[in-house]
């Protein structure tokens, strides 16, 4: 079993949002989440899809999952070639007509937001008139206008969580990243105003929009009442960007006392002591902070508007207010040296973090850095490995994939085996008891993973 499916499996919000829009318009919709059943073969998935007799099948997949999704698509076409195949998401929003040219079983690609484009297609509108839609017309490809009619966030129905099999109890929030089970994820804003080199913005472009505090509050209340959800994970890239929105939401949550805690991503530089206090008052338990690197030169090149001093200052404020802080780091940047990596490890250890995550730098196809990535080092352009776990890129300065793996192992072992973390483990018995139950339930798998980490060469 994949250790990552034991550590975190969250419901597919993007496709659930599209399903809700289609259902509201009168279309019959069903939803399958393959992430819940990693052992099911693709031919079996295809049979299950065809058994539902759909007119159209929509696939949302990551770059790493694209080939798997396409394999299912091909098998569905072989069983019933009348079914139209539509792909959406960030990967195909980058690829657009290239996806149609290179993958002949795909009939349509939605570049950008999916709700309005897929609804227009399901309603029978002429594909060439639908914004953001790329289509196959015999051996040719056609496309409608560029997408400019973006969704009005508060006009969208809540995602169709009820169509997701086993929601919410079959889904698992990040291990030791929640207070109570069951949990749910919410995306209450879309887009980002920053332009980090490694971020693919093919779906939302430069837009940044958000749900009103009232809409988000009603969604949380609905999840608590109808599904028994007790913890929310906000997946917004810039949750605290609109300060007034967050302040109002936290005040309403505090007054309502729904018995729901939450996590969110905080962008340093967009918080202050008063807002941190409001987050805590509204039920915020843990915040994730995108730190990426402990080398200022790397941040200046790849992460817009961030400094080590501001990171240290704001994490100190969050910690002092009693919020648990999880640091998000990345390793393997273009231009990164071994010295840079060591700085990142030392910086992480110097911060009052309760948890950390370190991913492999991944030049996704639509990210700005990808245009010049081959000039910076060795790049394995294998989509199936672009999961932020495999080091598909190795900088000229580091020169070795094995060395990157060794440093990642050293980062993880050094962080989690430190003395400060022993207090965290004890506190987690009370703070996140369900996580300990999960550890015990899947102890053999986690122990095998831990032994593999220990076999890695510490630096």
pLDDT at 448: 74
The residues facing 378 across adjacent strands are 394
Q: How far is 128 from 145, CA to CA, in rounded Å?
A: 8
Would you give the distance in Å from CA 454 to the centre of its chain?
28
457 pLDDT above the threshold of 50? no
pLDDT, tens digit, for every residue of 293-322?
A: 999 999 999 987 789 999 999 999 999 999
1 pLDDT above the threshold of 90? no
Asked if residue 364 lies in contact with residue 426, where contact means CB atoms within 8 angstroms, the answer is no
2 pLDDT above the threshold of 80? no
455 pLDDT above the threshold of 60? no
* Residue 231 host element (H or E): strand 231-234
- Other CB atoms within a 10 A radius of the CB of residue 322 amount to 11
Q: Please tell me the pTM assigned to this model.
A: 0.92
Q: Between 115-122 and 13-24, two packed helices, what is the crossing angle to 10 degrees?
A: 40
Mean pLDDT of 329-346: 96
pLDDT, tens digit, for every residue of 35-62?
A: 888 889 999 999 999 999 999 999 998 9
pLDDT category at 339 given cuts 50, 70, 90 is very high
- Other CB atoms within a 10 A radius of the CB of residue 285 amount to 21
Look at the chain and count its residues: 459
b/e per residue 59-79 (b: at least 16 CB within 10 A): bbbbbbbbebbbbbbbbbbee
pLDDT category at 453 given cuts 50, 70, 90 is low
- By C-alpha distance, which of 10, 39, 360, 313 is closest to 164? 10
pLDDT at 265: 93
b/e per residue 173-200 (b: at least 16 CB within 10 A): bbbbbbbbbbbbbbbbbbbbebebbbbb
348 pLDDT above the threshold of 90? yes
177 pLDDT above the threshold of 90? no
Mean pLDDT of 446-453: 65
pLDDT at 452: 64
Q: Could you give all domains of the chain from N- to C-terminal order, each with its CATH number?
A: 3-143 (3.40.50.280), 173-455 (3.20.20.70)
């Amino acid at each position: 079993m994949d250790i990552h499916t034991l550590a975190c499996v969250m419901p597919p919000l993007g496709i659930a949002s599209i399903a809700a829009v289609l259902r509201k318009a009168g279309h019959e919709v069903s939803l399958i989440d393959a992430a819940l059943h990693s052992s099911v073969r693709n031919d079996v998935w295809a049979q299950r899809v065809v058994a539902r007799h759909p007119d159209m099948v929509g696939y949302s997949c990551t770059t790493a999952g694209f080939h798997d999704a396409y394999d299912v698509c091909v098998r569905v076409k072989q069983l019933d070639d009348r079914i139209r195949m539509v792909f959406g998401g960030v990967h195909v929003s980058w690829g657009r007509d290239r996806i149609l040219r290179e993958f002949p079983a795909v009939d349509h690609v939605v570049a950008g937001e999916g709700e309005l484009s897929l609804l227009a297609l399901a309603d029978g509108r002429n594909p060439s008139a639908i914004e953001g839609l790329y289509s196959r017309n015999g051996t040719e490809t056609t496309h409608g206008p560029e997408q400019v009619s973006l969704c009005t966030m508060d006009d969208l129905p809540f995602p169709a969580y009820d169509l997701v099999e086993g929601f919410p109890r079959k889904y698992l929030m990040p291990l030791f990243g929640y207070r109570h089970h069951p949990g749910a994820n919410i995306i209450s804003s879309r887009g980002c105003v920053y332009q980090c080199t490694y971020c693919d913005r093919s779906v939302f472009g430069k837009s940044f929009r958000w749900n009103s505090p009232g809409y988000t509050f009603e969604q949380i209340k609905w999840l608590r009442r109808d599904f028994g959800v007790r913890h929310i994970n906000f997946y917004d890239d810039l949750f605290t960007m609109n300060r007034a929105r967050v302040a109002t939401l936290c005040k309403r949550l505090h007054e309502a006392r729904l018995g729901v805690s939450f996590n969110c991503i905080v962008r340093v530089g967009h918080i202050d002591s008063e807002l941190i206090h409001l987050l805590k008052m509204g039920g915020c338990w843990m915040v994730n902070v995108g730190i990426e690197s402990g080398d200022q030169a790397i941040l200046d090149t790849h992460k817009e508007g961030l400094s080590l001093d501001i990171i240290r200052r704001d994490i100190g404020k969050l910690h002092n207010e009693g919020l648990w802080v999880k640091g998000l780091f990345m390793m393997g940047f273009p231009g990164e040296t071994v010295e840079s990596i060591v700085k990142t490890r030392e910086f992480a250890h110097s911060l009052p973090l309760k948890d950390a995550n370190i991913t492999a730098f991944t030049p996704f196809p639509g990210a700005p850095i990808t245009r010049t990535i081959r000039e910076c080092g060795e790049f394995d352009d294998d989509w199936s490995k672009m999961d932020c776990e495999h080091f598909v890129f190795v900088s000229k300065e580091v020169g070795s994939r094995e060395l990157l793996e060794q440093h990642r192992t050293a980062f993880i072992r050094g962080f989690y085996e430190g003395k400060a973390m022993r207090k965290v483990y004890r506190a987690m018995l009370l703070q996140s008891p369900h996580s300990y139950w999960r550890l015990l339930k899947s102890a053999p798998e986690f122990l095998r993973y831990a032994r593999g980490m220990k076999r890695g060469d510490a630096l």
